[in-house]
Amino acid sequence: MRKPVIAGNWKLFKSIGEAVALVNELKPLVSGAQGVEIVVAPVFTSLSRVSDAAKDSRIKIAAQDCYWEEEGAFTGEVSPKLLKDAGCSYVIIGHSERRQFFGETDATVNKKINAVIAAGLTAIVCVGESLAERESAQTFSVIETQIQGGLTGLAKEALSHIIIAYEPVWAIGTGKTASEGQAQEVHSFIRQLIARIFDQSVAGAVRILYGGSVKPDNVKGLMSQPDIDGALVGGASLKAESFSAIVCFNN
């Protein structure tokens, strides 16, 4: 049984006060959500305060990125150890915006995953193809390269600390959602790939989230697909009303 995860990526939005207010607003709205893990990912500066505010709830905290070294002369970076200290249980790694704007590669994704797991946290590892790649029938090869590169060298035990998020780049922040069939096809491909790299039991247990314009009105259809185990939500996670409706998809 794979417990669904609904994670909200707040990106570069919300002051500390706004982030704390949002989590406080969310708490009563999601307290009755059935059989789902709830995660929010505020900006670094809000992590500690949002984590304190969420302590008496089921809402867990994610960071949106990290560095792979624990400490040292790495100006501007934050390590998984310090994210844990700030109250995080998860770290999003390899989001397409980081790949696109900040030079994230499969090699750096791999280093970050290792560091996150070593710190006792769970990595939410993002993969996804661009529109040009989909239109030139490269979706599966792009996903395979990202997964092989990101997970290279990991022991199969490490996979229990990894959640994969399939986020087609053309569906992020665009209002265009992959159809249930398009998403399921790639999720199933990822699961088979994990079985090939590790084994069937690892593949059967790993959770694969869909991300890309998930909204209250499309979450149920996506979640009805056999290989979709949750959602990574951007825009719709910034308002308590829409995010809680997504979290409560099962109610």
Query: How many residues belong to the chain?
Result: 251
Q: Contact region for ligand PEP (CB under 6 A) — 71-79, 114-122, 131-139, 226-234?
A: 226-234
Minimum distance from residue 126 beta carbon to ligand PEP (Å):
7
Kindly state the smallest distance separating residue 153's Cβ from ligand PEP, in Å: 26
> Is-catalytic flag, 97?
no
Is residue 183 near ligand PEP by the rule CB under 6 A? no
Work out whether 129 is an interface residue with ligand PEP (CB under 6 A): no
Given 129, 167, 227, 229, the residue binding ligand PEP (CB under 6 A): 167
Smallest distance, ligand PEP to C-beta of residue 158, A: 23
According to the binding rule CB under 6 A, does residue 204 interact with ligand PEP?
no
Minimal distance in Å, beta carbon 233 to ligand PEP? Answer: 5
Does 234 sit near ligand PEP (CB under 6 A)?
A: yes
If one asks whether residue 8 binds ligand PEP (CB under 6 A), the answer comes out as no
Q: Which residues are catalytic?
A: 95, 167
Q: Which residues bind ligand PEP (CB under 6 A)?
A: 9, 11, 167, 172-173, 211-214, 232-236
